Each structure stands twice: as structure tokens, then as C-alpha cells.
Structure 1
């Protein structure tokens, strides 16, 4: 990975992992990280509605308007998000289904600090060879902003060779190679 790629990864991880010092205002941040392993691929989405857009997002989740995000409402929203995503590996589309999720309180979202954390696990076996992963987040709205990045693979036989993003980062392409683990990084 080039120096610029490392810097972008570090900035993304710092932004996602750091405690909120300031609250988002007028954007719905949708940050995606991709974790590659021989036995599968995990996409994590961290969705943070800003103060000015929180009521709209809460309304999309809290369908009965009772001010409580029930387990069913959370599951329905996670599935709604999944329908806006597309993923393919070497040109073959992969259906995404939410495997796990954590939702903040309504108060935290109204304050701009509440982050919805969704995980999508793709069970696959990555054999030795070259791969191209294409990801797209089709969520829309003038207030939606995207980030997309790959985490450094923990398996030394997986080598990221290139990352390509659209200007707004709603589309992302990742080229990587899976080797026998004997080649140097």
C-alpha cells in the first residue's frame, strides 16, 4: 500500500476509534471498513447522523414513533441499509445480510454523537490468486457522506495491491492477492 493509503487508513481509524470531541451537524456519515480473511470478508458500517439530520434518521428507524428503537425496528433498519449496498468479488454479486448491530440511544443520536454499528459477514474461502472486490453504498440524500477503506489484513498471505474510490467514496474497488504466505510483504 502506498504512503498515501496508509495515511488515509490511519486517519479513518483515528476518526472512527477516537472519542467524539465534537458532534456532527448536517451530515449523515456512513463509514465502511472491509476486513479480509481467508475464511471470509467482513464489512462494518458505522453510521453517524449529525444533529441536523438525526430526526429524519430516527424517524426511519422508529417506525411507530414511540421514541424507543425496538429490536425489530433495528433489524428492519439494518436490512434497509443492506438493500442500499452492493458487493461483488471478481464480478460475482454477493448478497449482504446484517449479522450484528448495535444502536445508540435516541438521545445520543439527537446529540450528533450516536453511531449505529452494523456488521455484514460474507462467508467465502479465498484461495490463492488475484481478487477484485467492488463495493458501493447507494444511500442517498444531500446530507449523506461516505468513507470506505480496507483494514490491514491480519493474515500475512493476503496483500492489498490497490484501492480505488469514487470522489465521494460511495463506490470503492479493492484489488488484492492471496498467496501461500511465503512471500514477503
Structure 2
């Protein structure tokens, strides 16, 4: 399991208002951060079912109804989540692969505090110059609520130009530019 950086925790705290102090009730929050790099794009999803929708999420996850999540059930659920995502870079659909998946205990999901944490990667090389990324999350039903944002790139040659979101944030578009790297002698 990877180490979560403190700066990321502050960032995700701002992305999911009230997560630590209140329980979500009637929505399934799917919060995504996008991190751009020279040879990949990282997607980090936090899936937080509210108390009122937890039962349907648990039924989708715990397919044999034994009260626990087996590795097979977790992998199946992750596959369903990934299947509902689409990422296009400069007009070409990109394959999404799983890095890590962390599932909370059943009681945490039932209480509205459980966070399913998925770290996904898209192996791709954005082009020098203008790039256009489209991220689509088809969610898990009408109770899904989305948040999506791009992290500030650590590479100084990357410049975020514009972010556009649909009103419910299930569709997201990002325009960014990559300047040529300066070669130091």
C-alpha cells in the first residue's frame, strides 16, 4: 500500500467538505483527483457511500451475502467501477489500470464513514504543446454525486489552462499545455 502524503490529505479534505465531521446520507460520493506526469496520468478515486445508500453498495460488493468482502468480490467491484470510467487524451480513449484498492470494514460503510480508495493509472505520454483530456464517470446510479479536480502538476513544464465540468461533475474536461524541457549542461 502506498504512503499518503500529508499535503494530499489536506487537499482531499478540501475536496470532500465535511467528510470528517459529518456522515453523508443519501448520496454515493465519487471524488476523483487527476495527477498529470510525463509518462502517465494518475486517477485517485475516493468512493464514499452515504448511510441511506450503503445497503445497495454493500449488496453490489458482497455478492455472496456473507457479511465480508472477499478478494474476488473486491476485484469484481473495482472492475465495475473502472468499466464506468472513460478517459480520452487528445481524442483517443485510454486504458485504465488499477494500482491499489483499499476497502473499509463493512461496519464503516454501513455507518457512512467507509471510503473505498482506488488508485488508477493511465500509461500514456501527453504531447508537447496543447493537450485535451476528457474524464467521464458514469457512477453507480441516480444517488451518485461527483467531484473532480486536477492536482497542481509537480512538473513545472505542465500548465493547466482550463477545467470544465458538467453541472453534476460526472463529465470533466481539462486543457493543459506542456512546454519543452530545458536541457541543462
| Coarse TM-score class (shorter-chain normalised) | 0.7 to 0.9
2:52 is matched with 52
Structure 2: runs of 5 or more not aligned: 1-9
Q: CA deviation at 1:19?
A: 6.0
Q: TM-score, normalised by structure 2?
A: 0.88
Q: CA deviation at 1:127?
A: 3.7
- Distance in 2 between residues matched to 1:168 and 1:135, nearest whole Å: 13
- Distance in 1 between residues matched to 2:160 and 2:176, nearest whole Å: 4
Q: CA deviation at 1:97?
A: 2.7
2:33 is matched with 33
Rate the CA distance shift 1:29–1:41 in 2: closer, same or farther, 3 A: same
Aligned residue for 1:76, secondary structure, equals helix
Rate the CA distance shift 1:60–1:139 in 2: closer, same or farther, 3 A: same
Aligned residue for 1:69, secondary structure, equals coil
Q: TM-score, normalised by structure 1?
A: 0.88
Name which of structure 1's ranges 118-127 and 99-108 shifts more when overlaid on structure 2: 118-127
Output the aligned Cα RMSD: 1.8
Aligned residue for 1:79, secondary structure, equals helix
1:4 is matched with none
Contact 1:160 1:175 in 2 (8 A): yes
Could you list the runs of 4 or more consecutive aligned residues of structure 1 that deviate by over 6 angstroms after TM superposition? none
Alignment length (residue pairs): 173
C-alpha offsets along residues 131-182 of structure 1, whole Å, 9 cap, x if unaligned? 0000100124221110111000011010000000000000000000011256
Within-5 A mapping of 1:13-162:
13-16=13-16, 20-162=20-162
Contact 2:39 2:125 in 1 (8 A): yes
Q: CA deviation at 1:42?
A: 0.4
Name which of structure 1's ranges 107-116 and 93-102 shifts more when overlaid on structure 2: 93-102
Aligned residue for 1:99, secondary structure, equals strand
- Distance in 2 between residues matched to 1:133 and 1:162, nearest whole Å: 11
- Distance in 2 between residues matched to 1:119 and 1:75, nearest whole Å: 13
Contact 2:13 2:19 in 1 (8 A): no
Contact 1:156 1:181 in 2 (8 A): no
Q: CA deviation at 1:15?
A: 4.0
Rate the CA distance shift 1:59–1:140 in 2: closer, same or farther, 3 A: closer
Structure 1: runs of 5 or more not aligned: 1-9
Q: CA deviation at 1:98?
A: 2.1
- Distance in 2 between residues matched to 1:93 and 1:54, nearest whole Å: 32
